[in-house]
Structure 1
Amino acid sequence: MCRDISYKTPNRLMNGRWFRPFVSMIRECIIPCPISYFADNLCPACNSEGKFIMRTGERETLGRRLARVCRHDPGRYNLEMDINGWVDIREFVDALREKESRRFGRWLRPHHIKAVVECDAKGRYEVRGNTVRATYGHTVEIELDLPTDNIPPALFYPCSDEDLEIIMDIGILPGNRSHVHLSRTVAKAAEAGRLGGQQLKRPIILEIDTAQMTATGDTVWKAGTAVYLAEKVEPQYLDRVEENDDRLAPLISKWEQEEEE
């Protein structure tokens, strides 16, 4: 299991100077330890330096290829995906080394795929045996076999002011994705609206009564660490989170401050 704690790694003192360490590369812990890979200078579990696995740029590029193959277009690399979204890791590595030999030919091995997956803090990918898949974000049709138990009683979804009326009328549809993507918290939904495909400055947040959804027979899957999936959300399960709600008001205040700067 990887720990990517770069977002909260403090500055360190070296040779009398403070610096922020280079933390985006991936390293492997080579002593007995509960953590296999980590994205920090030292293993957060045992404090060892570990062994270098890949640089920041290599990690980012490989992550983009993972998204392309496991979410959207495995055929681009002549790869086969099974009905549940699994792709063979060895075949994936061989395809990248062949088609992009200048970029991947010298260094890419199966353990690099596993390292990127384990160090993805959002849980966007999953490794099982010698196969890998995306847990959400698909535009290709797959049959999900993700967990459906312990679903929170409420989940959240961002939308624009322009889309609010039609969503409240017909519900939430997946659009160009295979499933509707829901967030565990108001903050995560707001982040998805501002930084995701919608790029909304001030997203409206809808609360979904998932307890009622599942009670009436609809299925909700747990995909990532804070992402859940549904085939559709009917309008009767939707309610707007008001701007003065304690879960949303601090976020709006922060956005207003950013706009003034």
Structure 2
Amino acid sequence: MARRLALVLRHAPEKFDLEMDINGWIDVKDIVRQFKGSNERRYHWFRPHHIRAISETDPKGRYEVRGNVIRATYAHTVEIELDLPTDNIPDALYYPCSPDEYENLIEVGISPSGRAHVHLSANIRSAAEAGHVHHAIPTLLEVDTARLVAAGETVWHAGITVYLAEFVPGKYLSIVPNDHPEYELARVHWAEEE
């Protein structure tokens, strides 16, 4: 159910004949109606409170419910206008990348790849976990968001530990040392999982 909801709210509402407003909101009842009417009996039980439960229990804060509408807070490939909070942004955020690409990113900056925005993490551990999905041992970059915001760039707080930017110039990036204690903890956790 959560994957289908992500498809609707982040990537392809039109596949389900759903209308998304400019800020990414879709009526919860419309989603329920479309899922139940999709000729798949497996969703006969589905109700609006199930969508609220998915939103409220998601550990990353991927969804936001306001009244009778829901939206994804980040990871959009559809064009929307963000109306997320831009205050209380941490002075530093983090970005995971391939060990082969960090030098290029420091030179040219970070652009969104396949998404509408660059995804930044609130802490080293979260960035390491996000990067580990794609790379055995990701390289972590620190973003000097204090300078980035002071230069007039906007950073949005999207999920519990997720922040968004349209672009991060290379001059605001530096490498997180491999021996940083938080990064070492993440690597110990990965080794325990194997």
For the criterion TM > 0.5, the same-fold answer is yes
Give the superposition deviation at 1:65. 1.3
Q: For the residues of structure 2 that align with 1:99 and 1:251, how far apart are their CA atoms?
A: 41
- Which of these residues, 105, 115, 122, is aligned with residue 60 of structure 2? 122
SS at match of 2:130: helix
Which sections of structure 1, spanning at least 5 residues, go unmatched?
1-61
- Which of these residues, 197, 201, 225, is aligned with residue 160 of structure 2? 225
Paired AA for residue 75 in structure 2 = G
Q: For the residues of structure 2 that align with 1:119 and 1:92, how far apart are their CA atoms?
A: 19
More displaced stretch, 159-168 vs 146-155: 159-168
> In the TM superposition, what whole-angstrom CA distance separates every residue of 1:55-77 from its partner, at most 9, and x where no partner exists?
xxxxxxx2111100000000000
Q: For the residues of structure 1 that align with 2:142 and 2:102, how far apart are their CA atoms?
A: 12
SS at match of 2:182: coil
Paired AA for residue 248 in structure 1 = Y
Contact 1:243 1:252 in 2 (8 A): no
Q: For the residues of structure 2 that align with 1:252 and 1:217, how far apart are their CA atoms?
A: 35
SS at match of 1:157: strand
Report the equivalent of 1:81.
Answer: 20
- Identity of matched residues, %: 54
Task: Choose between structure 1 and 2 for higher RCO, CA contacts under 8 A separated by at least 6 residues.
Answer: 2
Query: What are the within-5 Å matches in structure 2 for residues 6-17 of structure 1?
Result: none
Give the superposition deviation at 1:258. 4.9
Contact 1:71 1:138 in 2 (8 A): yes
Q: For the residues of structure 2 that align with 1:246 and 1:63, how far apart are their CA atoms?
A: 33
Cα distance change, pair 77–209 in 1 and its aligned pair in 2 (3 A): same
Root mean square deviation, CA, Å:
1.4
More helix by share: 2
More displaced stretch, 208-217 vs 112-121: 112-121
Give the superposition deviation at 1:250. 3.4
Report the equivalent of 2:106.
Answer: 168
SS at match of 1:161: coil
Number of equivalenced pairs: 194
Cα distance change, pair 100–68 in 1 and its aligned pair in 2 (3 A): farther
Report the equivalent of 1:68.
Answer: 7
> In the TM superposition, what whole-angstrom CA distance separates every residue of 1:193-224 from its partner, at most 9, and x where no partner exists?
112xxx21000000000001111100000000
Contact 1:72 1:138 in 2 (8 A): yes
Q: For the residues of structure 2 that align with 1:218 and 1:100, how far apart are their CA atoms?
A: 46
